[in-house]
Amino acid sequence: MNQQPPALHQTKYVRREEIVTRCVAGVNLLVPVHGCTHCVYTLNSTGNRLWDWIASPHSKNELADSLAEVYSISREVAQHDVNAFLADMVRMDLVVERKEQGESV
């Protein structure tokens, strides 16, 4: 009997739909429309780029690869920045972690 290896699960990140973005006087703002409506979060240009990308689900590796390419930085620096960004976003409940089934190797 030929058994297939179990499917790999990959964590992907996607922003919450309940968060709106605005640029006011050159400052990128994230504003929750439910829950903590008195909270406003700011993003630098790198954070804003990452926020745009996670409108659809992406893995940490996908985000780091894109960041390294766009900003011409090392993969290690990009991975560090992505990890820090996502940790903050998850902690503030602005981003959702999703386990998605990947392809078997």
Q: What is the pLDDT of residue 8?
A: 65
Q: Where are the alpha helices (DSSP H) in 19-74?
A: 45-53, 60-71
Across the range 11-26, mean pLDDT stands at: 93
Cα–Cα distance between 57 and 60 in angstroms, integer? Answer: 10
Residue at 72: amino acid letter:
S
Cα–Cα distance between 25 and 37 in angstroms, integer? Answer: 20
DSSP H or E stretch at residue 82: helix 75-91
Residue with tokens 């919450």: 16
Domain range list for the chain? 14-94
Domain 14-94 bears CATH identifier 1.10.10: yes
More confident residue, 72 or 3: 72
pLDDT digits (tens, 9 = 90+) for 44-58: 999 999 999 999 999
Read off the pTM.
Answer: 0.82
